[in-house]
């Protein structure tokens, strides 16, 4: 039976709770590979959902479901019911991970769907720099900041949210760390810019080859007409 406090809403109130979700990854050294890691796996990574500065979020999140690449991981769906809400695996490729947050029953809220693209490699730098990064075993981090908003929460959930946890932290404020939204966006833009420059270089090279070929054909015609 559902109690009245689990259905009656606190009108006119919204409660915010900050979360951070994303992944850390580091190259696998040949001599320290985890037991069971496939021979072609190059990295170990951890996908997680947590609070700012690792603060507890289990008082309002009951469980977290991570949906991995179905063709690469069995089982592909991992449900974590206790903190820390995270999954650690090994692999070689990057892919999108669907993340579903389930709240405690007294919230009477539907699950919240998030998405994160697994990042194993740094996006910017020369080929030599990227190779040095790999050889040195440096880690890569990719996190996003977000806020879970409970609009007019149930009375029971309002009691939970206002007696535990942290106060609202405005996005991109109070010295938010670089691995969060702004840094991720900058790196994505840098990656896009590097890709566009590469395309331009390849296009210019093709044009140069085409012009050279046209000159060769023109010269051949001139000789045949003599």
Calculate Rg over the CA atoms of the chain.
Answer: 25
The better pLDDT of the pair 207, 96 is held by 96
pLDDT at 193 over 70: no
Average pLDDT, the chain: 83
Residue at 172 is within a domain: no
Show Cβ contacts of residue 150 under 8 Å, excluding neighbours closer than 6 positions. 14, 15, 16, 17, 107, 109, 157, 158, 161
Same domain, 46 and 136: yes
Same domain, 151 and 185: no
Q: How many domains does the chain have?
A: 2
Rounded mean pLDDT of 23-52? 90
Same domain, 22 and 106: yes
Nearest to 115 by CA among 177, 178, 67: 67
Tell me if residue 225 falls in helix, strand or coil: helix
Least confident stretch, 28-37, 59-68, 171-180: 171-180
Residue at 37 is within a domain: yes
Nearest to 13 by CA among 155, 110, 147, 145: 155
Same domain, 122 and 40: yes
Rounded mean pLDDT of 119-126? 77
In whole angstroms, what is the distance from residue 75 CA to residue 174 CA? Answer: 39
- pLDDT cut 90: percent of the chain above it: 48
pLDDT at 27 over 50: yes
Same domain, 151 and 63: yes
Same domain, 59 and 148: yes
- List pLDDT tens digits, range 129-185: 666 666 676 889 999 999 999 999 999 999 999 876 444 433 443 444 444 545 555
Same domain, 199 and 119: no
CATH of residue 138: 2.60.40.1970
For every residue of 70-83, DSSP letters joined together read TTTSSSSEEEE-SS
Least confident stretch, 92-106, 169-183, 207-221: 169-183
Least confident stretch, 7-16, 40-49, 56-65, 177-186: 177-186
Predicted local distance difference test score (pLDDT) of residue 116: 96
């Amino acid at each position: 039976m559902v109690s009245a406090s689990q259905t009656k809403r606190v009108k006119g109130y919204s409660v915010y709770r900050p979360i951070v979700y994303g992944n850390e990854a580091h190259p696998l050294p040949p001599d320290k590979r985890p037991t069971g890691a496939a021979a072609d796996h190059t990295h170990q990574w951890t996908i997680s959902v947590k609070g700012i500065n690792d603060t507890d979020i289990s008082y309002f999140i009951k469980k977290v479901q991570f949906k991995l690449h179905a063709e690469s991981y069995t089982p592909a769906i991992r449900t974590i019911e206790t903190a820390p809400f995270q999954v650690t695996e090994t692999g070689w490729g990057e892919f999108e991970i669907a993340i579903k947050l389930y709240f405690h029953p007294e919230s009477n809220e539907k699950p919240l769907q998030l998405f994160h693209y697994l990042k194993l490699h740094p996006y910017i730098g020369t080929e030599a720099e990227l190779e040095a990064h790999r050889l040195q075993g440096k880690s890569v981090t990719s996190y996003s900041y977000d806020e879970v908003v409970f609009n007019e929460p149930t009375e029971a959930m309002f009691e939970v949210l206002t007696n535990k946890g942290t106060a609202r932290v405005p996005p991109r404020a109070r010295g938010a760390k670089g691995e969060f939204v702004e840094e991720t966006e900058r790196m994505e833009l840098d990656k896009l810019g590097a890709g566009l420059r590469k395309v331009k270089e390849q296009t210019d090279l093709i044009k140069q080859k085409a012009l050279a070929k046209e000159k060769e054909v023109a010269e051949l015609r001139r000789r045949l007409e003599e």
